[in-house]
């Protein structure tokens, strides 16, 4: 006998017709749910969807089909990969049965026969085991390990139970069928073959047939129900995540770049300015799709420093609450703040470190929604005294500290005394060294500038500073939501840099670096931007600078969010520190690189108070102390200030010292 698929074997005549009658209401429920979701999201142009899918096919393959970010967590990634691949394989198998029996059979064509059918049977048995293994890991994580980020919602229990039943009942059906009607090729269905011996010994043929028919219908009905529930349950993420990845990911701004909603120098004075959002109706359908794609996996929450510090913020909760409004009655028109759905404290607690974005396996950007809500609050003037004071300082003094120009004069005089020139004195300088507010007005951070100047002078780099004309980049204003103030400062700085014909800029503040690199191009500025660690790294690499006195101390590095995770500068700081520490004396923190943990100063939170049970800087300093390092190297003046406070609070002055990378290098040359 040739191996061939027997679709309705052991079932009474007319089962196929009855099955389609049973399937019809489930199919109708599924179709209605899909149309309801599409309408609720506000999709009006299906042509835009198909065009977007084509444009985003690379993202779809990399992050959707190949699960690039999902598998970055070993256990959770393995679990999802097994479940995902198992479901896909079983879906393909069911589709082949449909084609074979319900379409091609009428043309006297059978595809499920011969060697291909044997391969089909073995493959489905193997992939069914993969599905059950993935579900087993999920049960372990929820019921044994009790991972806190996995929420015990009844919907998830229902989905898990349904998938388990489909997987187990499929093997029961296979085992009973082979027990009642053995086939020479039965061994290819290796799980069913193993079960068939048990069933043969356990019951009579008549009983087994009754069991088979009962399981056959229950298997079919549960499978139909699971499909019908896709648009109404968390199962919908199988499609919403893929759509979001394909449609939204190609259009997303670089990390660290906030959307520019208008151009101040192009505004119609009589026009109305629209900033941020307070209700779902103010979001585009693609922004709503981003919320809909959330799987509630909790990775963003686990990565969030504000959540770890006990602030009111959980990026997962923000996204889930906004998502809930999309589907609730009247939710699209609901004011998220007036209704209490979103607490203003949640919005203000974000350090904008981008950790939630990096962690999300389906490329959702929780921080973007938070920052847009900040813009809405700021537009309405819903700011406390400290936020208002910072913005006033920017307008009045050109810096967020509110200090007058005498502070700048002091540092510039010290730099001039060691040979640093201004752009007026050296108009042909290769680099403009942008000092930044922190290093003009904070005494500790001024030491970083002096060290960097010493390095540049030693290596005979052609550079100059802007002097008294330098002003804040406006980053604190933009992160707090004051777009107009930011653009005023941005346009002024762009005009200044163009006037001095700047081609290359060196900065040591990561926030200035990010603003120049990612945000000022929107306002017409085109120049090369270098972080001071990149410049130092290049000088060492080309032997223009040599470290002749390596530190005999153990060093560790704190990756700044806006240099590392946001702008991808990882290797240069490490190469410098390995040389400075003599190789083996450089040790890594447990969370580093893309997974680095924020110091707590970003997103303008440095300028106002956030309710916390702990401080991000203290959490991070404990991690540094656990490495046994004597020196915590930083690459940001705000990190320096935050950790300086943390060292004093913990009384750790004798255990660890703080040094910027430029200071370490300056001591070693």
- Which pLDDT score, from 0 to 100, does residue 65 have? 87
Pair of tokens at residue 344: 């203003």
Q: What CA–CA distances, in Å, run from 439 to 429, 453, 658?
A: 21, 13, 16
Q: What are phi and psi of 153, to 5 degrees?
A: -90, 145
Assign 528 to helix, strand or coil.
strand
CATH class of 274-382: mainly alpha
* Side-chain half-sphere exposure of 97, counting CA atoms within 13 A: 14
- Which pLDDT score, from 0 to 100, does residue 45 have? 76
SS3 content of the chain, % helix, strand, coil (to 5): 60, 5, 35
d(CA 393, CA 493): 17
- CB burial readout 445-472, b (16+ within 10 A) else e: bbbbbbbbbbbbeebebebbbbbebbbb
pTM of the full predicted structure? 0.92
Residues 319, 291: contact at Cβ < 8 Å? Answer: yes
- Which pLDDT score, from 0 to 100, does residue 542 have? 96
User: Average pLDDT per run of 10 along the chain, which is 669 residues long?
Assistant: 88 94 96 92 82 87 91 92 94 94 91 95 96 96 91 90 96 96 94 95 94 96 96 90 92 93 85 88 94 95 97 97 93 96 97 97 97 97 96 96 92 96 96 96 95 97 96 97 97 97 96 97 96 98 92 93 97 95 89 96 96 97 97 97 97 96 95
Assign 557 to helix, strand or coil.
strand
- Which pLDDT score, from 0 to 100, does residue 49 have? 84
Query: Domain locations in the chain?
Result: 70-150, 164-239, 274-382, 389-668
């Amino acid at each position: 006998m040739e191996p061939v698929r027997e679709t309705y074997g052991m079932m009474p005549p007319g089962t196929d017709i009855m099955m389609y009658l049973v399937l019809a209401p489930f199919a109708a429920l599924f179709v209605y749910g899909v149309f309801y979701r599409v309408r609720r999201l506000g999709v009006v142009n299906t042509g835009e969807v198909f065009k977007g899918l084509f444009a985003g096919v690379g993202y779809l393959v990399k992050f959707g089909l190949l699960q690039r970010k999902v598998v970055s967590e070993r256990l959770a990634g393995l679990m999802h990969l097994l479940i995902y691949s198992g479901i896909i394989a079983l879906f393909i198998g069911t589709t082949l049965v449909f084609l074979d029996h319900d379409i091609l059979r009428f043309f006297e064509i059978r595809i499920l026969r011969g060697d291909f059918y044997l391969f089909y049977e073995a493959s489905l048995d193997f992939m069914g085991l993969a599905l059950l293994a993935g579900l087993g890991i999920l049960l372990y994580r929820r019921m044994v390990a009790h991972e806190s980020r996995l929420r015990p919602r009844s919907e998830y229990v229902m989905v898990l139970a349904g998938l388990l039943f489909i997987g187990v009942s499929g093997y029961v059906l296979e085992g009973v069928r082979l027990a009642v009607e053995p086939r020479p090729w039965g061994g290819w269905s290796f799980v069913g073959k193993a079960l068939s011996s048990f069933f043969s010994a356990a019951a009579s043929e008549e009983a087994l047939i009754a069991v088979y028919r009962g399981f056959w219908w229950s298997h079919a009905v549960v499978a139909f129900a699971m499909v019908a529930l896709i648009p109404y349950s968390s199962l919908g993420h199988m499609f919403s995540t893929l759509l979001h990845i394909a449609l939204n990911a190609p259009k997303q701004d670089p990390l660290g770049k906030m959307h520019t909603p208008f151009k101040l120098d192009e505004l119609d004075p009589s026009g109305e300015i629209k900033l941020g959002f307070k209700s779902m109706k103010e979001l585009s359908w693609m922004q709503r799709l981003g919320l809909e794609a959330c799987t509630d996996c909790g990775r963003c929450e686990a990565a969030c420093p504000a959540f770890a510090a006990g602030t009111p913020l959980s990026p997962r909760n923000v996204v889930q609450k906004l998502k809930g409004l999309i589907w609730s009655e009247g939710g699209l028109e609901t004011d998220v703040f007036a209704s209490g759905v979103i607490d203003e404290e949640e919005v203000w607690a974000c350090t904008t470190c981008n950790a939630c974005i990096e962690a999300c396996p389906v490329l959702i950007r929780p921080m973007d929604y938070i920052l847009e809500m900040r813009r809405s609050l700021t537009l309405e003037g819903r700011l406390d005294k400290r936020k208002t004071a910072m913005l006033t300082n920017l307008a009045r003094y050109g810096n967020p500290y509110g200090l007058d120009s005498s502070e700048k004069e002091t540092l510039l005089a010290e730099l001039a005394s060691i040979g640093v020139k201004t752009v007026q004195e050296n108009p042909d300088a290769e680099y403009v060294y942008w000092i930044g507010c922190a290093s003009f007005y904070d005494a500790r951070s001024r030491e970083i500038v002096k060290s960097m100047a010493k390095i540049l002078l030693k290596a005979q780099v052609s550079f100059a500073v802007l002097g008294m004309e330098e002003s804040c980049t406006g980053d604190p204003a933009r992160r707090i939501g004051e777009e107009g103030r930011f653009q005023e400062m941005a346009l002024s700085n762009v005009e200044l840099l163009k006037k001095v014909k700047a081609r290359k800029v060196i900065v040591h503040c990561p926030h200035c670096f990010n603003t120049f690199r990612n945000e000022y191009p929107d306002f017409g500025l085109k120049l090369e931007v270098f972080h001071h660690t990149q410049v130092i790294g290049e000088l060492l690499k080309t032997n223009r600078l040599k470290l002749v006195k390596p530190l005999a101390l153990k060093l560790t590095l704190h990756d700044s969010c806006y240099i590392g995770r946001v702008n991808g500068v990882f290797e240069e700081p490490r190469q410098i520190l390995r040389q400075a520490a003599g190789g083996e004396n450089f040790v890594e923190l447990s969370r580093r690189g893309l997974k680095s943990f924020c110091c707590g100063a970003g997103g303008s939170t440095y300028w106002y108070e956030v309710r916390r049970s702990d401080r991000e800087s203290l959490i991070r300093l404990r991690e540094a102390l656990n490495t046994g390092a004597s020196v915590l190297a930083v690459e940001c003046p705000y990190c320096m200030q935050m950790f300086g406070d943390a060292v004093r609070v913990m009384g750790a002055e004798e255990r660890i010292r703080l040094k910027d990378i430029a200071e370490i290098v300056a001591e070693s040359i």
